[in-house]
């Protein structure tokens, strides 16, 4: 029996892997870098491979110590393994894709341990993988998905150690949190999961278990992994990263002010379409308070993360990504209660299905509006996407009338899968081609500049640096460069001040890009 259960578990884990890769891989290497941090990590990885800057990442000719180096290492290793050391969009994003797949699998294992149901555990993983921000961030080469994986792994190991009293899981917890620290620092890699564990133990009136968690070999393992890099950097790490990028950004960041209720709006939008099941989960929790003990751990996980980041002065959608596995388990608990108590939760079920239909309508309208604004309507992919969105709206409106809960779960899951695939296989490639991609103008600038010096006036964007492949693009000096011919790239709004200092510069070409315009100018002779 036990061998059959293990075989079944591995089969489901394999299925989660297939679904994850099926959603995340389409067009992964053809969509350009949208987020500037993507290109920044890719450029640092290229410098590590080509110039040997492995310990201290280098970006545009300078050390970059505002973040630990794990993501740079992962991108570099991926590029060396898959593409002989050449960093591309595909190789840079593979670490995030694998981290997302791993997070889905660990969430399944944790949900199974909490709820005792393989079907609900699989559905929790599926909800996580098909939530909007999750699959979106899984296709970005930035730290958030890797961080989410290691935090999820660390908390899973804690829960298994707590329930099974296994020292091996405690070692696994410390190892995972050490790698989370090497990905984004101790504030989120250690302090955040530590607070989650403390709050959970307090809710169980079991704080004495902290003594078991403070396991000396585990602490030494954490220090062995996480301590060498900051010790090598010394004061630079402490000032630039720990103080400026953790303490100050959390407590006081006047350049990035956001209201405390930011995530109250942001989370429901980005966890869509599954936020539709908030009413069902809320009513289930109210009517079945005693059963909430089954999900006390993910509730503590969700609450601590949500409150902590809401208190922070700096907020971004991706910062609360580590609470998404907890949210998926909480929501699937609500769905499970709906399946158990169909009569008592019938009205809440119908409200959630109606909300699901509303979310799908919003997706369809948003897609139409963005196409009208940015994409020629006659393109086959645009037309197909619009037609599919209209079909899905009609489909979910039918689902909202269902009284059969099982069919409703299957159909809403199918809808969520189509939305996820629509984003990765249609939306991203279309918008990359017609609106978002910086690659075409960067490659044109690269061809025009050739071996001549290239400077920037204002600031240089990470994707410009990566695609133009100059290694280092310096700021334009106050004194005229001594070379015979040189080029300058800037933005349209900077032209008046640039012309005052360099009246002899001539415009070579203007490149419309999103809502801005990139301008290439030439100076000197030749």
Q: Please tell me the predicted confidence (pLDDT) of residue 399.
A: 56
Kindly tell me if the per-residue pLDDT of 47 is higher than 60. Answer: yes
Q: Please tell me the predicted confidence (pLDDT) of residue 273.
A: 92
- The strand pairing partners of 456, in sequence order, are 475, 489
- The whole-model pTM stands at 0.92
Q: Please tell me the predicted confidence (pLDDT) of residue 419.
A: 86
193, 180 in Cβ contact below 8 A? yes
Q: Please tell me the predicted confidence (pLDDT) of residue 343.
A: 79
Kindly tell me if the per-residue pLDDT of 32 is higher than 70. Answer: yes
Beta-carbon neighbour count of residue 396 at 10 Å? 25
- Residue 143 tokens read as 């730290």
Say what percent of the chain tops pLDDT 70. Answer: 89
- The strand pairing partners of 475, in sequence order, are 456
For residue range 201-251, what is the model confidence (pLDDT) as tens digits? 999 988 988 888 899 999 999 999 999 998 888 877 777 777 666 666 655
**What's the chain's average pLDDT?**
87
Long-range contacts of 506-511 (CB under 8 A, 24+ apart): 508/448, 509/444, 509/448, 511/441, 511/444, 511/445
Q: Which residue has the higher pLDDT, 179 or 401?
A: 179
User: Quick one: average pLDDT of 32-36?
Assistant: 88
DSSP alpha helices (H): ranges in 35-166? 36-51, 70-83, 89-115, 118-129, 132-137, 143-164
For residue range 284-296, what is the model confidence (pLDDT) as tens digits? 989 888 888 999 9
135, 66 in Cβ contact below 8 A? no
For residue range 93-117, what is the model confidence (pLDDT) as tens digits? 999 999 999 999 999 999 999 999 9
Three-class secondary structure of residue 5 per DSSP: helix
DSSP state at residue 486: E
Residue 433 — very low, low, confident or very high, per pLDDT cuts 50/70/90?
Answer: confident
Q: Please tell me the predicted confidence (pLDDT) of residue 79.
A: 97
Say what percent of the chain tops pLDDT 90. Answer: 56
């Amino acid at each position: 029996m036990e061998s059959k259960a293990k075989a079944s578990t591995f089969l489901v884990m394999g299925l989660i892997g297939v679904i994850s890769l099926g959603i995340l891989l389409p067009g992964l290497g053809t969509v350009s870098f949208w987020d500037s941090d993507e290109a920044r990590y890719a450029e640092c990885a290229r410098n590590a491979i080509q110039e040997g800057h492995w310990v201290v990442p280098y970006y545009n000719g300078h050390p970059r110590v505002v973040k630990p180096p794990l993501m740079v290492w992962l991108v570099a290793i991926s590029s060396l393994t898959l593409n002989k050391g050449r960093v591309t969009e595909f190789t840079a994003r593979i670490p995030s894709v694998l981290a997302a797949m791993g997070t889905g699998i660990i969430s399944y294992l944790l949900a199974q341990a909490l709820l005792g149901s393989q079907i609900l555990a699989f559905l929790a993983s599926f909800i996580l993988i098909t939530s909007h921000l999750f699959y979106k961030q899984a296709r970005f080469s930035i730290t958030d998905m890797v961080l989410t994986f290691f935090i999820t792994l660390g908390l899973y190991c804690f829960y298994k150690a707590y329930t099974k009293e296994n020292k091996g899981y405690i070692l696994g917890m410390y190892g995972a949190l050490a790698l989370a620290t090497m990905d984004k620092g101790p504030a989120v890699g250690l302090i955040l999961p530590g607070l989650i564990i403390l709050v959970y133990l307090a809710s169980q009136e079991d704080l004495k278990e902290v003594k078991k968690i403070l396991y000396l070999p585990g602490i030494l393992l954490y220090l062995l992994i996480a301590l060498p890099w900051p010790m090598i950097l010394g004061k630079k790490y402490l000032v630039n990263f720990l103080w400026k990028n953790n303490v100050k950004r959390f407590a006081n960041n006047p350049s990035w002010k956001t209201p405390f209720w930011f995530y109250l709006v942001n989370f429901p939008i980005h966890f869509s379409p599954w936020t539709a099941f908030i009413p069902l989960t809320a009513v289930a929790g109210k009517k079945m308070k005693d059963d909430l003990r089954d999900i006390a751990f993910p509730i503590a996980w969700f609450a601590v993360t949500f409150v902590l980041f809401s208190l922070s002065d700096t907020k971004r959608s991706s910062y609360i990504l580590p609470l998404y596995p907890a949210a998926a388990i909480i929501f699937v608990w609500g769905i499970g209660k709906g399946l158990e108590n169909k009569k008592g939760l019938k009205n809440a079920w119908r409200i959630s299905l109606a909300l699901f239909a509303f979310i799908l309508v919003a997706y369809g309208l948003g897609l139409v509006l963005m196409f009208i604004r940015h994409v020629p309507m006659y393109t086959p992919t645009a037309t197909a996407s619009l037609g599919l969105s209209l079909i899905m709206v009609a489909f979910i409106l039918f689902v909202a009338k269902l009284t059969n809960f099982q069919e409703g779960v299957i159909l809403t899951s199918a809808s969520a899968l189509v939305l996820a695939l629509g984003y990765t296989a249609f939306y991203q490639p279309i918008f990359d081609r017609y609106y978002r991609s910086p690659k075409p103008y960067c490659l044109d600038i690269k061809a025009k500049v050739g071996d001549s010096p290239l400077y920037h006036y204002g600031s240089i964007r990470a994707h410009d640096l990566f695609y133009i492949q100059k290694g280092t693009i310096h700021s334009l000096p106050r004194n005229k460069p001594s070379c015979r011919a040189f080029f300058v790239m800037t933005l349209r709004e900077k032209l008046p001040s640039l012309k005052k200092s360099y009246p002899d510069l001539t415009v070579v070409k203007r490149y419309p890009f999103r809502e801005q315009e990139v301008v290439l100018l030439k100076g000197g002779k030749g």
